[in-house]
Amino acid sequence: MLFIKNGTIVDPVKNTLYRADLQIAEGKIERIIREGEAAPAQIKEHINIEETETIDAEGLLIAPGLADTHVHFREPGFTYKEDIITGAAAAARGGFTEIVLMANTKPPVDNEETLSYVLSRGKETGIHIESCANVTLGMAGKELTDMEKLGEAGAAGFTDDGIPLLDESIVRKAMEKAKSLHKPISFHEENPGMIANNGINAGEAAAFYGIGGSPREAEISLVKRDLELALETGAEVVIQHISAKESVALLREAKAKGAHVHGECTPHHFTLTESAAIEKGTLAKMNPPLREEADRLALIEGLKDGTIDLIATDHAPHAKEEKEKPITEAPSGIIGLETALSLGIRELVEKGYLTMPQLIERMSAAPCRLYGLCGGRIEEGAAASLVLFHPTEKWKVSEFASKSANSPFIGEELPGVVHYTICDGRVIFRLPQSPTK
């Protein structure tokens, strides 16, 4: 039994905030007692017994546990960077209770055995971990996986994230199959034939390093193609980690035409521009790259008007020695689970672009709806998966629960301190000084 008192509920479904206490039992929200309502007698009895833990959430916001549908935990194959256990710890520290993993592991998740391994490892953590399966065998872009069997085995969706699919006929077939299975299919949109050097924008940053970089056209061309195919097939399509203003405009147009498409934006893309790649070097190198201020603002406008409906971290751990290589040799990607909520608060809520319920909607309710996850709601009878955080309290980015520390935000002071993460009624992360009884 868990009793949370004096908190402020963030309801992303009804777009409201209100004061309430929560009674939690058997992993569910048993009762919500709004401020001013008399607590039923059975609640008064419960909170006096030894088996009940009481959390005083005075000053804290209580939101549904965050959901990240674009995560790399590197297992199997690259566990020196991260593994499912350490990744889950980073997720819990960041307030996440629902994770959907990408499939570009070694071996890739193109078969039932690897999928089963990943899902079973996920059950060893305190959070809910799902995984996508690959679209093509070996991520080679030539032959579809047995998507039906992988779906039956528990794949949350399908993607070859990390490697763009260039064969239009393969993409069309994959979308048609995903639609028949009622599963989302996600696409990494960068045409490698247009890219001289990945991870760095073909603009001011590329000029600084004296390289060709990655032009926006590499993204735009594939986004345009896949949005047209999405409209044609009726598939539930996710355009991953959008970086260009033109991509936002194309997505908005496709939604207006009735396509079942979703836009995904990372905290680093709505926070930083290519100037960070100049200042931070490889710690700000990622695919697609950070672009210009006009692109960043277009992403925020897309989040604001609902064109972009998902905030996902693309949490991509790498070893220190890998990121210390020269700019053209170091791998792309940064970690993001432990800073995502704070960046959303600082860049979107504090600057007036989104309300707090709108931020949580894009970080919890919307991804849960799309992937059929159990979180995203605070209602009686719903799963008691929650994050309790102080929206203005500051913390300094330094140490991480992740195995890796490849973040351009190291040393920054950010708002939004997670005090508790609760999954199915169990406290899986607790800030050491947080009060409890």
Query: Which tens digits make up the pLDDT trace of 111-120?
Result: 999 999 999 9
Band (pLDDT 50/70/90 cuts) for residue 432 is confident
Cβ atoms < 10 Å from Cβ of 40: 12
Whether 80 has a pLDDT exceeding 80, the answer reads yes
Each residue of 348-369: pLDDT tens digit? 999 999 999 999 999 999 999 9
271 contacts: CB under 8 Å, gap ≥ 6 = 296, 343, 346, 347
Q: What is the pLDDT of residue 292?
A: 98
Q: What is the pLDDT of residue 51?
A: 73
Percent of the chain past pLDDT 90, that is, above it, reads: 94
Question: Taking residues 105-114, what's their average pLDDT?
Answer: 98
How far separated are the first and last CA of the chain, in Å rounded?
12
Q: What is the pLDDT of residue 437?
A: 45
Each residue of 282-296: pLDDT tens digit? 999 999 999 999 999
- CA-CA distance, 375 to 397, in Å (whole number)? 27
Cβ(388)–Cβ(418) below 8 Å: yes
Active-site residue flag, 314: yes
Q: What is the pLDDT of residue 435?
A: 53
Q: What is the pLDDT of residue 434?
A: 58
Whether 255 has a pLDDT exceeding 50, the answer reads yes
Among residues 68, 161, 314, 424, the one annotated as catalytic is 314
Each residue of 164-186: pLDDT tens digit? 999 999 999 999 999 999 999 99
What pTM was computed for the model? Answer: 0.96
User: In the chain, what are the helix, strand and coil shares in percent, each to the nearest 5?
Assistant: 35, 25, 45
| Rama region for 195: left / alpha / beta (φ>0; ψ in -120 to 50; rest) | beta
User: 99 has which bridge partners?
Assistant: 68, 129
Question: Taking residues 305-320, what's their average pLDDT?
Answer: 98
Question: Taking residues 97-124, what's their average pLDDT?
Answer: 98
User: 185 has which bridge partners?
Assistant: 158, 237
Q: Which amino acid is at 303?
A: L
Question: Taking residues 200-216, what's their average pLDDT?
Answer: 98
Q: What is the pLDDT of residue 159?
A: 98
